[in-house]
Structure 1
């Protein structure tokens, strides 16, 4: 970044580390007046800062649901599941919120799978029979394979993976 004064650069570095710092906290940390910090923040907001963000801690209790144009820049290990929408966008459920561009974001405190869905049959990806009861799954390259039993799953893995 060009044309930043020494103090502007110092304020910007503090904000990158913690965007929640108040003007008083910044002034105290840098040993400059609150008025000076206020003027610096006005210039930085006008010329350099696009937005303030929050990095969330994930203790395993949250899922992040984002609407995004692409899943290419998302670590596959962070994806719980995703849906490709008819308009070409994606709804993605994430375990960890990574720095991606998204159109919207929501957070969920729990993930539930309903057993009450009727009228939908799920077929084994190995033998083709209808899965009744609990299915066995295998995830590979962002695709989930479903099997009616552990035998079908192991045979599938031997032959194709």
Structure 2
């Protein structure tokens, strides 16, 4: 498996600056052909590094609540479920889970009813929360000299450049070694046979 190189990082940086940039424009900037740029972006999408091309809407220019930063203190082991619920909410822009199992999110929500953005099934897991009104926001993701850090779909270890990639039924999976790949594929095929049989 090939790691990210400087050209991949430059392409990612250009897409972060303007995701609507044409392949031709990117190709000129990185000294490749447009089809070569498209192939690299396709590979980055297959790896999950690029998850899509979105519009960055400045919600402060739209009237629908107040720009807030909310920190939730949640019940033990509930952070993942609460974060997943928030990620589905239209009013929520970014969700973070800290190592201390706190959930932090930004969004345009009614300040008098912050918990209304949560699914009722997980709202009960929120023990306390703190709301801060945002005066301004900035989101500046950068690639710099980042390295590829995929997670093995079998054991959870980091996949290095010696790792394996396998496509099963149109879905791409990554493995840290051939042993993990073999184990995963065997289990996958057993499950598929059980469903089909």
TM over 0.5: no
**RCO higher in 1 or 2 (8 Å CA, sep ≥ 6)?**
2
TM-score normalised by structure 2 residue count = 0.36
Decide which structure has the larger Cα Rg and report it: 1
TM-score normalised by structure 1 residue count = 0.42
